[in-house]
Amino acid sequence: MTDFDWQPLLLTFRLATTTTLLLLLVGIPLAGWLAFTRFRFKPVIEAVISLPLVLPPSVLGFYFLLAFSPTGFLGEQLLAWFDLRLLFTFEGLVVASIFYSLPFMVHPVQAGLENLPASLREASYTLGKSRRETFFRVLLPNIKPSLLTGLVLSFAHTIGEFGLVLMIGGNLPGQTRVASVAIYDEVELLHYGAANAYALLLLVISFGILLTVYAINKRWVIF
C-alpha cells in the first residue's frame, strides 16, 4: 500500500468531469439534430459517432497519435496557432475522451428524443414556440432519464479509459497518469496492494454511480 497515491484517482475524476461537461455541450445539440434531421448522410454521421463502440481503443489512440503529433496536420496547426500540445497532456486526454465517450452521451439522448410523441414538438410549434425554445422547455425536460443515463455513462466510460490514455497520454503523474494506467503500472512493478486499492476504489465508485442512476430512473416515470 505504500505506493498508493490519491493523485491518479483525482486525475481520473477531473478528466471524467471535464469530459462529461464538455460532452453535454457537444452531445445534446448533436443528439437533437440527429433525432429530427432528414439529412441524407445521417447514417454516415451516426456510424462515425458509434465507431468508439466497436474499435479497439488502440486504433483510435493510434490515429489520435498521428493527428496530434507536432508533425501531424492537426498538431502542427494547434501548436502554431494556439501553442497547444495535445500529445502527452491533460488537454489531449480531454479531446480524445470526448470522441471516445461521444456515443455514450449521444445514443441515450437521441433515443429519448426520438421516443417522445411527435405531437409534443408539434403542439409547441402551434403555440408559437421556436425550435430552440421547444427543445429546451418541452423536449429536454421530458427526457430526464435519458439525459441522466447519457451523463453517467459518459462519466463512467471515461473513468474506464485505458488503451487510449496509454497511447496518447502515457504515464505522466499529475498530467496523464489516471487510475486505470496506475493499476497497470503497479501490477507491472508487482505492487499488488496499490493496484488493488486503485482497482477496488474504481469498482466501488463505478458501481455506486450506476446503482444511483438505475434507482433514480426507476423513480422518474413521467408518462
Partner 1 sequence: MGDILMPMLHLRARMNLLFASGPAPLEVDFKLTAGSLTGLCGPSGSGKTTLLRILAGLTVPDSGMMRVGDRIWLDTAQKIQVPTQQRKVGMVFQDAALFPNMTVRQNVEFAAESRRDSLVDELLALVDLENLADRKPATLSGGQRQRVALIRALARRPEVLLLDEPFSALDYETREQLLGELVRLHRQFGTTTVLVSHHQEEIQRVADNILELKQGKVTNFGSPYTAEKESLNPVTGIVNEVNVRETTTQLQIRLTSPIITVNVPSDTKEWHIGEAIAVSIDPQTLTRKAD
- Indicate the SS3 state at residue 4: coil
> Does the protein bind partner 1 through residue 119 (CB under 8 A)?
yes
Select from 101, 110, 124, 154 the one that contacts partner 1 (CB under 8 A): 124
Interaction with partner 1 in 22-81: which residues (CB under 8 A)? none
Instruction: Give min distance, CB of 121 to partner 1, in A.
Output: 9
> Does the protein bind partner 1 through residue 123 (CB under 8 A)?
yes
> Measured between alpha carbons, how far is residue 134 from residues 5, 16, 211 in Å?
47, 30, 31
89, 83 contact by CB (below 8 A): no
102, 26 contact by CB (below 8 A): yes
Interaction with partner 1 in 156-215: which residues (CB under 8 A)? none
Instruction: Give min distance, CB of 223 to partner 1, in A.
Output: 6
Select from 63, 125, 136, 162 the one that contacts partner 1 (CB under 8 A): 125
Q: Quick count: other Cβ atoms within 10 Å of Cβ 66?
A: 13
CA–chain centroid gap for 150, Å, is: 9
Q: Which is nearer to partner 1, 71 or 126 (CB)?
A: 126
d(CA 147, CA 14): 20
Q: Which is nearer to partner 1, 43 or 128 (CB)?
A: 128
What are the DSSP calls for 130-191, one per residue? -HHHIIIIIIGGGGHHHHHHHHHHHHHHHHT--HHHHHHT---TTTT--HHHHHHHHHHTT-
Select from 40, 82, 128, 215 the one that contacts partner 1 (CB under 8 A): 128
Looking at residue 27, its amino acid is: G
> Does the protein bind partner 1 through residue 223 (CB under 8 A)?
yes
Q: Which is nearer to partner 1, 39 or 192 (CB)?
A: 39
How many residues touch partner 1 under the rule CB under 8 A: the total is 18
Select from 47, 120, 172, 200 the one that contacts partner 1 (CB under 8 A): 120
Select from 70, 141, 173, 174 the one that contacts partner 1 (CB under 8 A): 141
> Measured between alpha carbons, how far is residue 180 from residues 67, 164, 171 in Å?
24, 11, 10
Interaction site with partner 1 (CB under 8 A): 117, 119-120, 122-130, 137-138, 141-142, 222-223
